[in-house]
A and B are shown apart, each in its own frame.
Chain A
Amino acid sequence: MKNILRTLFVSIIVSMPSAFFAQAKEDPIPKTGFIALIAAHVVLGIIGIAALYAMTMALLRKIPSTTILRLSSVTALVSFVASWITGGIYYVLYYGGAVKPAILSGSNPFAHSFFMETKEHLFLFLPFFSLVLVAVSFFAGDLISKDTRVRYALCGISGLGVLIGIFSTLSGVIISGSV
């Protein structure tokens, strides 16, 4: 099932103009399309983490602003999903063929075998944490200021999201530095 989905996903993506997203060979300096993807992946991820951080700080106040909670949760969700998509395309079309073999055969193979593998799985929490935060902000916004348990629970989720985001970001630096 995983192979079918992967083939479907790749076939949709490679139907894009091939000059822009040419299948990566062993080229350590990627084409413009891949540079744009990785730049988008990084920037969107950081915006998502910043939004979760803003949400954490807002929830630490006695009376959180509902507007800030809604805006930051939606920003986090959209950013993380977009970062997920751009990162996924980059991974499938470029990283897997050109970067991963270079890292595994280099001086820091743990950069892929530990940091990338961990990042691939850990980041999955982020879009779903954001989805929970969006849902509660929009459908139970009043409850957040009235019930401290709800506020602290949401603060825990957003704070944990920030920690996972920071770990993912720093892992990305290690991975890129190990090429």
Chain B
Amino acid sequence: MILVYLILILIAGGLLAWFAGKWSKEIPRFIALGALSVDLFIAVSIYLSNGNIGLNAWMIDYSASWIPHFGISLHLALDGLSLLMLILTFVLGILSVLISWKEIQENTGFFHFNLLWILSGITGVFLSMDLFLFYFFWELMLVPMYFLISIWGHENRVYASYKFFIYTQASGLIMFLAILVLYFIHGKSTGIYTFDYLQLVGTSMTAPTAFLLMLGFLTAFLVKLPVVPLHNWLPDAHTEAPTAGSLILAGLLLKTGAYGLLRFVIPLFPEASVTFAPIGMLLGVIGILYGAKLAFAQTDMKRLVAYTSVSHMGFVILGVYAFNELAYQGVVMQMIAHAISTGALFILVGQLQERIHTRDISRMGGLWKQVPVMGAVGLIFSMASLGLPGLGNFIAEFLTLLGTFKVNVLMTCLASLGLVGATLYSLRILQKVFYGKENIVYKLKDLSIRERFISGVLIVSIIFLGIFPNPVFKLAKPAILKSLNTISIQNAKEKNENISTYNFIGEPVKANPK
């Protein structure tokens, strides 16, 4: 039930903020902050009370019937992976309220309503164990984000918000179609019509059908991730969104795509995923290199950072299709580290834009002298972005590449060229913004205490992840093994005919000789 509360608190907080916004500009901020803090508190206390869960599949599993006629239930469950994602969601949520404190002055009530509803959608996505419910939350993220971009965005916001909406909506519909087909196939073969994920796992179907259905799911997740060539909504949406929007887009929305791959695509379609793996890895490599190349060419700082996301997310899909624990731990770490580092860079761009009213790096330069603290923040997160050891992103990329190297040496070699690419664009940011001559002399104030707090939290987190990553690995391990087991069952099936069925944890169940 606690899982339902997590979502309800955000939904109720959103409504409350909207109403309060009619009275005062400031109250919605506090309501949002309060709702998110309560959620963070709950998530952290779940973590603390489940410190040593071992290989238990689910920490909390809640199920209630919703529309029993169609086999739709309110099934929420939490394991280490979802808990990690939830903590990330609430922390970034709090930061996005703080970061909007000065930036958002119009219609704050509705703004925070949208913010909290996006976050509740994301929370739902990370918890849903019913595919219908999952799709519901998937869509719930989308609409308020559309408003966020189109109302509080920058100059080209209408175009960007349409583009975002069409890409995600269209790909989401394809996924919904696949969900429905899966529902009917499962219903036909077993007589049980259900959207419940745990029951749908292991549905038997012909290989071509499975492959097609997998493509349906993939479309939605690969657009979100995003994977080249489905990435074009991202630079526009990230660039035009208000800072909080960019933070949530980069930090959380992209991660729902990665989460979807790990949670749904691999377990539901292990066989098809193995078939797809070479293409998946290739897409990852293309994303890494092409994203880096585009990032290097940009002059709009926000767009530049947006393209680095394309590059970094390439590592995620590369690792997902390596099918081993090393790579998966790397992927999970990348989801978290990228959220922090890219989020921090977006925040930095937002802070600069507030001060000098431009995002064009050719109009910046030599800013270090006036704003050394901002410079230091920029330095740390540029280094995170290029994968400097000691920061979380290095652990992520190192493990991903190490895991991939076991499987495909060529792809790993190509992907590691991305590290050189990352060096090129990261150093370019530093040079153009903070070093060199002052092209235009601005009068700047360095970070305020509120802003220092925000950056400080992110800096401490990224360093902590870089030198003490083990708690994350420990938490993510059961979920990762669950996902991988479906693959190993797949491999075992090909080798051993005696084993006919498998339970969910992946233990083979011998066929009954009767």
Whether chains A and B associate is no
A: residues with CB less than 8 A from B are none
